[in-house]
Chains A and B, each alone.
Chain A
Amino acid sequence: MLEINTFSKIYSEKELRVLDHISLQVHPSEIVVLTGPSGCGKTTLLHAVSGNIRHFEGTIKTTFNKIGFVFQEDRLLEWKTVLENVTLVAQEGKRDRAMELLHEVGLEGFENYYPRDLSGGMRQRCAIARALFYGSDILLLDEPFRSLDHKLSREMLKLIHKIRTEEKTAVLFVTHDIDEAVLLADRIIVLTKQPAKITAQLQILTNVEKRNPDSRKSLRYKEQIISLLEE
């Protein structure tokens, strides 16, 4: 389990408080979506969970051993092929698993390409495959589908669900796309603008398979989120 208690972050050089007493939990195989206005500190929170930000107020406790991350930027190594970029993060080779994931993200046949030969969307899918290949207990995703078209981003959502079901991976997902949030989340956490506080937590009870962004229930959730964001 991931347990964040009264987390606050102040960037001392700018005297900027971005997050203010945030407390939340993520349980094993739960998908939690964080949404909120731009610059409210969602990325900061993910980096604190991953251990990249060490100075903050409050506590972050976790029983999750391996933390995977899909960054906003793909952060691929330009001198490694797609396959090498994916297999880099695991100790043992497991080439077949990497090939399987590349197939899942639609990069089959591109395994020997270098990142410079890929489009922005393909690069991001490679970064997603890398994070999935890592075999994490919790997966942090920071607006991972920004550069993907509608169809691809829906396919990636299905893949995240599949990984959660098959590998019991917990997911903490940051997005601005409310459709994405409603389709993916078990729970949506809405943050206020800076300094961000949690304004609401919505439990999405509809079965994932039956979710439709245009259904009445989804529309209600979306209206609720939009009104919270506009407050």
Chain B
Amino acid sequence: MVFTMTGKNRAKIIAFIFVMGVWWIFSFIYPPLVVPTIPSVCMKIFEIFTHADLLQIIPVTVLRLVTSLALGTLSGFAVGFVCGISRILREIIEPIIGVLQVIPPVALLILAILWFGFNGKPAIFITVMAISPTMAISVQHGILNIDPNLMEMGRTFRLKKRSVFFNILIPSIRPSLASGWRISLGLACKTIVMGEVLTTPTGIGGALSQARMNLEPETVIAWTVIILFIFYLIDRITKRKPHA
């Protein structure tokens, strides 16, 4: 176990050094306007974390992200659950999920602007619409793959529905839930910022828009690093250790 962890950490460090090395080389080849230097990006991150007016941008996006994740995962779970337990509902809902997966988020964004106006709501809306089908498919897949012998055991010993739900169903679909959640989290981080860039001057997306207009690539990369950090943080908080 210790060797595996060390190996994993070593691989991460090598990957990090590789990316930094490539970036460093490119920053020598290209001008700072195309590829900003590593120190300039570090300075920008430092500036964001030390200036209250810049720092307060982060919670705006985090709040939208958390709201989207809560709504998207809950609605996705509910839809996936009913699709998993009812064949008729699955046949009705599955094509709708398929359509939702194909619709470009930008098309939905335009409609959302018409419905909600230029504020954070369109970004939340398209993020929910992006992650909900992913979660629904994951939950449905998990439920359809539950070991029928375990469900039969539950029925034989007359377990209450609540007990079957928490002791058999949820633990059985946990691997599908975990992969659905991880994909949704990545998707949500990308979509929320894209939505903000196109619909609102607030949040990290708004700051990226501002940086684009001011031709500040180091600011763009600094905010991107912060988004990565937010992803990593939420991922770590929500990652549950497998049973001992």
- Asked if B243 and A79 make an inter-chain contact with CB atoms under 8 angstroms apart, the answer reads yes
Within 8 A of B (CB), among A131-172: 134
A22 to B149, CA, bound (A): 26
- Asked if B150 and A79 make an inter-chain contact with CB atoms under 8 angstroms apart, the answer reads no
Known: A71-B149, A77-B167. A51 touches B244 (CB 8 A): no
- Asked if B171 and A79 make an inter-chain contact with CB atoms under 8 angstroms apart, the answer reads yes
Within 8 A of A (CB), among B139-184: 149-150, 152-153, 155-159, 163, 167-168, 171, 174
Asked if A95 CB lies within 8 Å of chain B CBs, one says no
- Asked if A77 and B171 make an inter-chain contact with CB atoms under 8 angstroms apart, the answer reads yes
- Asked if A114 and B157 make an inter-chain contact with CB atoms under 8 angstroms apart, the answer reads no
Within 8 A of B (CB), among A65-86: 66-69, 71, 73, 75, 77-80
Among A50, A52, A77, which residue has its beta carbon within 8 angstroms of that of B150?
A: A77
In the bound complex, residues from chain A placing their C-beta under 8 Å from that of B244 are 114
- How many residue-residue contacts, CB under 8 A, span A and B? 38
In the bound complex, residues from chain A placing their C-beta under 8 Å from that of B152 are 52, 75
In the bound complex, residues from chain B placing their C-beta under 8 Å from that of A67 are 156
What is the number of residues of chain A that contact chain B, defined by CB distance less than 8 Å? 19
What is the number of residues of chain B that contact chain A, defined by CB distance less than 8 Å? 16
What is the distance, in angstroms, from A112's C-beta to the closest C-beta of chain B?
A: 9
In the bound complex, residues from chain B placing their C-beta under 8 Å from that of A88 are 157, 159, 163, 167
- Which A residues have a C-beta under 8 Å from some C-beta of B? 50-52, 66-69, 71, 73, 75, 77-80, 88-89, 114, 130, 134
Q: A51-B156, A75-B150 are in contact. List 12 more A-B contacts (CB 8 A).
A: A52-B152, A52-B155, A52-B156, A66-B158, A68-B157, A69-B153, A77-B167, A88-B159, A88-B163, A88-B167, A114-B243, A130-B157
Of the A-B pairs whose beta carbons lie under 8 Å apart in the complex, a sample of 27, sorted by A's number, is: A50-B156, A51-B155, A51-B156, A52-B155, A52-B156, A66-B158, A68-B157, A69-B153, A69-B156, A69-B157, A73-B149, A75-B149, A75-B152, A75-B153, A77-B150, A77-B167, A77-B171, A78-B243, A79-B171, A79-B174, A79-B243, A80-B167, A88-B157, A88-B167, A89-B157, A114-B243, A130-B157
